[in-house]
Chains A and B, each alone.
Chain A
């Protein structure tokens, strides 16, 4: 690992579901370093040489860092809102850059082509204008006023609707999606993507949700999200270059890619470059 990785070393990352730790612990990797997540009170995360890493348990997951995080894990206020179902989806391993996984999550334009007849459908392929900003106070990327037609926006949806979206990137490998709640118009369902960078080209993706949905069985909710992420995986594992380019190089970003551009700018500003390609090739 190079010194240029330092800003990302000091971030929090998900490394396990707190509720599903086996008695012997979960042996895994974080940014190329072997670690073990050990059950108990408190849960511990131990790196090579027996070094105890900082631990926080939030949103159903165990979070740790190889460095020294300068602030607490980002807040998702909806996690504590009464009436929501908190759904731990599990883990999907993807052979791609952790930054690519987040960028794909932010990309609406792929819905009709990858999640056909579920999150999008032809001929409704156009992404309308929306707002993107880097909020200085929170130091987060936000995309708002995003609208997209979806044949089946959620497991609980019974027909096609125009879905409102907001995207938030509070950490380099985490994103929070707010979308129209079919059961409670006026409220937002929360779907997150927490990404554990195993290496620069391999990651474990831990989706998690906070929904207003009292009816759909949990297994159906989990299967629905896993199906979406498995569809994404086949695309992600074939992207070239494998690292996320911060210089557009041969790629031609357009206005529909505004969120991706803002995300890459934010990564570049903070030197969050683990999993990124710095110079176009």
Chain B
């Protein structure tokens, strides 16, 4: 399965303390590696690496997110390796 490395930019009402641990759990469940590059109440950027289909699944999961968070949009862009 082809692997990819992408920057996922999540926008919405993201202020709940539950969100970053939730992202870490969901990524781990999918076997993805990730690193939070930016986090505030309106935007979270994560660099995420793994099989492309599972990064798709990460996006689907994040669109729902935990109940106390509302995700408005998710943008994805490739991150150059190196």
Residues of chain A whose beta carbon lies under 8 Å from any beta carbon of chain B: 246-248, 250, 252-255, 257-258, 261, 264-265, 268-269, 278-280
Contacts and interface: CB of A to CB of B under 8 A. Distances in A.
B70 A268 contact: yes
A147 to B, nearest CB: 20
Contacts of B56: 254-255
Contacts, number: 44
Given A250-B29, A254-B56, A258-B60, 10 more contacts: A247-B67, A248-B61, A252-B57, A253-B57, A261-B60, A261-B63, A261-B64, A264-B64, A268-B70, A279-B67
Contact of B64 (A253, A255, A279): A253
A184 B29 CA distance: 47
A254 B57 contact: yes
A265 B61 CA distance: 11
A35 to B, nearest CB: 30
A254 B53 contact: yes
5 contacts: A247-B66, A252-B30, A252-B57, A264-B64, A268-B64
Nearest to A262: B63
B48 to A, nearest CB: 15
Contacts of A265: 63-64, 71
A264 B61 CA distance: 11
Contacts of B53: 254
Nearest to B30: A252
B9 to A, nearest CB: 18
B65 interface: yes
B67 A248 contact: no
Contacts of B26: 248
A268 B71 CA distance: 11
A247 B64 contact: yes
B59 to A, nearest CB: 8
Given A252-B30, A254-B53, A268-B70, A247 B65 contact: yes
Contacts of B64: 246-248, 253, 261, 264-265, 268
